[in-house]
Amino acid sequence: MSIRIENIAKSFSAFRALGGVTLHIGEGEFVALLGPSGSGKTTLLRIIAGLEFPDDGRIIFSGKDVTDTPAAQRGIGFVFQHYALFGHMNVARNIAFGLDIMKRRERPSKEAIASRVEELLRLVRLKDYGSRYPSQLSGGQRQRVALARALARNPRILLLDEPFGALDAKVRRELRDALRIIHNEVGLTSIFVTHDHEEAFALADRVAILNSGKVEQFAAPTVTIATPKSDFVRSFLE
Ligand SMILES: Nc1ncnc2c1ncn2[C@@H]1O[C@H](COP(=O)(O)OP(=O)(O)O)[C@@H](O)[C@H]1O
Ligand SMILES: [Mg+2]
């Protein structure tokens, strides 16, 4: 899926959170949204997901206008910083959740769900963890489960909102590498929100730098580092 974000504006009462954001993201691309706290990253991600609706502008997935399409029909997987896993369900059931709740007519068979869970456990390198409970996992392992759960229904777009924010530096780096490999293996289009420029530049094909609800620069890491477009970008990279 390609994603065209066309002139998206969003205010909360008198406060303008997004002031006309345009980004064209290619099929299979990995894009980071980078900006300080309050710059509008989460709001933009929620609008792409259909959890929030813009005052102005359009969202287009592979040529189809989805601006008014509800989240459940957009075929998106999400991972959030505090993506609460269900504590009373083991890892396998957590991953299967999105499949288990499908209407019977659409739901894969029990066997198909079990084999999909096995495949996802392998993908996130947690092959032998299916019967553990979330409380028996490290923070990094929990986020791997959250990622597997987000991928269970084969989304064509993956959105991640500061998914590694609560983890220590070493685990973050491991997960960052794992995420990039999984993105490439699955062939998704991914958008990753972070306020950490190192993380954004290490991970993404292109980085959109947001400042007060506007895009300052949208380019490959090497281009932004070599030719920062504004003082804001320059200061943000230091
Ligand atoms: N539901 C809301 N109601 C009021 N203000 C909001 C709401 N959501 C976000 N905002 C405001 O919009 C701005 C951008 O927020 P957000 O998109 O969460 O930024 P970021 O994710 O970059 O930290 C912030 O000033 C925030 O307080
Ligand atoms: Mg945020």
Is pLDDT of 83 > 70?
no
- The confidence score (pLDDT) of residue 54 equals 98
Out of 130, 154, 178, pick the residue that ends a domain. 154
Cβ-count burial 169-195 (b if 16+ within 10 Å, e if not): eebbeebbebbbebbeebebbbbbbbb
Nearest CA to ligand 1 atom 16: 40
Cα of 42 vs centre of ligand 2, distance in Å, is 4
- pLDDT tens for 42-70 read 999 999 999 999 999 999 999 999 999 99
Considering every ligand atom shown, identify the ligand nearest to the alpha carbon of residue 38 and give its number: 1
Say yes or no: CB of residue 224 within 6 Å of ligand 1: no
Cα of 133 vs centre of ligand 1, distance in Å, is 33
- pLDDT tens for 145-155 read 999 999 999 99
* Mean pLDDT computed over 204-209: 98
- The confidence score (pLDDT) of residue 164 equals 87
What SS3 state is found at 87?
Answer: coil
Q: Which two tokens stand for residue 121?
A: 């456990």
Residues 225, 182 share a domain: yes
Residues 164, 204 share a domain: yes
Out of 103, 122, 154, pick the residue that ends a domain. 154
What percent of the chain has a predicted confidence (pLDDT) above 90?
Answer: 89
Residues 6+ apart with CB under 8 A from 195: 34, 35, 36, 37, 41, 162
Going by pLDDT thresholds of 50, 70 and 90, the confidence category of residue 165 is confident
- The confidence score (pLDDT) of residue 184 equals 92
Residues 191, 93 share a domain: no
- Name the residues around ion ligand 2, CB cutoff 5 A: 42
* CB-CB contact of 139 with 56 (8 Å): no
Q: Which domain holds residue 237?
A: 1-75+155-238
Closest ligand 1 atom to Cα of 44: 17
Say yes or no: CB of residue 105 within 6 Å of ligand 1: no
Looking at per-residue confidence, does 168 or 56 come out higher? Answer: 56
C-alpha distances out from residue 132 to 44, 45, 137, 138, Å: 35, 31, 8, 11
Residues 159, 65 share a domain: yes
Closest ligand 1 atom to Cα of 193: 21
CA-based nearest residue to 117, from 92, 143, 80: 92
Q: From CA 182, how far away is CA 53, in angstroms rounded?
A: 29
- pLDDT tens for 34-46 read 999 999 999 999 9
Q: Which two tokens stand for residue 235?
A: 């200061």
* CB-CB contact of 31 with 191 (8 Å): yes
- pLDDT tens for 11-33 read 999 999 999 999 999 999 999 99
Say yes or no: CB of residue 12 within 6 Å of ligand 1: yes
Torsion of CA 43, 46, 50, 55, to 10 degrees: 0
* Residue 161 per-residue DSSP state: E
Nearest CA to ligand 1 atom 25: 38
CA angle, corner 195, sides to 192 and 198, nearest 5?
Answer: 85
Out of 154, 169, 195, pick the residue that ends a domain. 154
Say yes or no: CB of residue 194 within 6 Å of ligand 1: no
Say yes or no: CB of residue 26 within 6 Å of ligand 1: no
- Single-letter amino acid, residue 185: E
Say yes or no: CB of residue 213 within 6 Å of ligand 1: no
Residues 146, 32 share a domain: no
- Average pLDDT over the chain reads 94
Q: How many domains does the chain have?
A: 2
Closest ligand 1 atom to Cα of 13: 4
What SS3 state is found at 195?
Answer: coil
Which residues does residue 24 pair with via DSSP β-bridges, in sequence order?
4
* CB-CB contact of 120 with 95 (8 Å): yes
